[in-house]
């Protein structure tokens, strides 16, 4: 029996998913929650096999952060993202957080249960257009980052602030910020987290 926790802040969505999973052989919906904090707490308490996770959850932590916390638990549940958001930043943040799969809410209901079973086995499941985005990102020529830009990005990936990175590289904080702006433009992202995720996917940083 695959035990599923549903995380979504929209009651009508939870109702639809509950209906879709009702009576499905080998799948049991053990709980529904509306916030990221509840998702972590209930996962820790009930130990579901798969968490169906929306990304935007209103006040509190978002789905990517909830995924990160769930995946940090001992013997963690698999997290299958189910959301309306398909930007590269959202996809990369979820995958970097440890999500096993990424589906969109326009997914054919008939594909949901097989996706849950796939995720429960620890296998990756991606919506077709999400997979296409990732393949395109891998295949696109990495606009060449300079050695200094890669050095800055590696320090960011290691958790250094701009000020700490500047000290490590013997440059000013303004120089670090300038390098990061160039990195964001070249990788097509808009945040430090997304830059690190994109760079890791491309093998540019550890």
CA 188 to chain centre: 17
- Residue-level pLDDT at 20: 92
154-175 confidence digits (pLDDT tens): 998 899 998 998 888 888 888 8
CA distance 105 to 112: 10
Specify which residues 102 forms β-bridges with: 81, 126
Determine what percent of the chain is predicted with pLDDT higher than 90: 50
Determine what percent of the chain is predicted with pLDDT higher than 70: 95
Quick one: which of 87, 188, 190, 91 has its CA closest to 145? 188
Res. 139: pLDDT tops 80: no
113-135 confidence digits (pLDDT tens): 999 999 999 998 998 888 777 76
CA distance 32 to 50: 12
Res. 141: pLDDT tops 60: no
62-92 confidence digits (pLDDT tens): 999 999 999 999 999 999 999 998 777 788 7
Rg over CA atoms, the chain: 19
**Residue ranges of domains in the chain, CATH in brackets:** 2-138 (3.40.50.2300), 147-202 (1.10.10.10)
CA distance 80 to 118: 10
- Residue-level pLDDT at 4: 98
Res. 142: pLDDT tops 60: no
Q: How far is CA 191 from CA 30, 114, 145, 154, 170, in A?
A: 36, 34, 16, 14, 23
- Residue-level pLDDT at 137: 62
């Amino acid at each position: 029996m695959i035990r599923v926790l549903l995380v979504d802040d929209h009651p009508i969505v939870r109702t639809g998913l509950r209906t879709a999973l009702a009576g499905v052989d080998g799948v049991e919906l053990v709980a529904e929650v509306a916030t990221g904090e509840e998702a972590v707490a209930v996962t820790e308490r009930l130990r579901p096999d798969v968490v169906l996770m929306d990304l935007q959850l209103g006040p509190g932590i978002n789905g990517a952060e909830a995924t990160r916390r769930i995946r940090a638990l001992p013997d963690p549940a698999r997290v299958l993202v189910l959301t309306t958001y398909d930007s590269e930043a959202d996809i990369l943040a979820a995958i970097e957080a440890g999500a096993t799969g990424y589906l969109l809410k326009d997914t054919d209901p008939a594909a949901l249960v097989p996706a849950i079973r796939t995720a429960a086995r620890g296998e990756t499941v991606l919506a077709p257009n999400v997979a296409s985005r990732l393949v395109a990102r891998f295949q696109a020529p990495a606009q060449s980052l300079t050695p200094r830009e890669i050095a800055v990005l590696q320090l960011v990936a290691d958790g250094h602030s701009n000020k700490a990175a500047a000290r490590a590289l013997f440059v000013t904080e303004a120089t670090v910020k300038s390098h990061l702006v160039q990195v964001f433009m070249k990788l097509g992202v808009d945040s430090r987290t997304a830059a690190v995720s994109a760079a890791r996917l491309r093998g540019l940083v550890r």
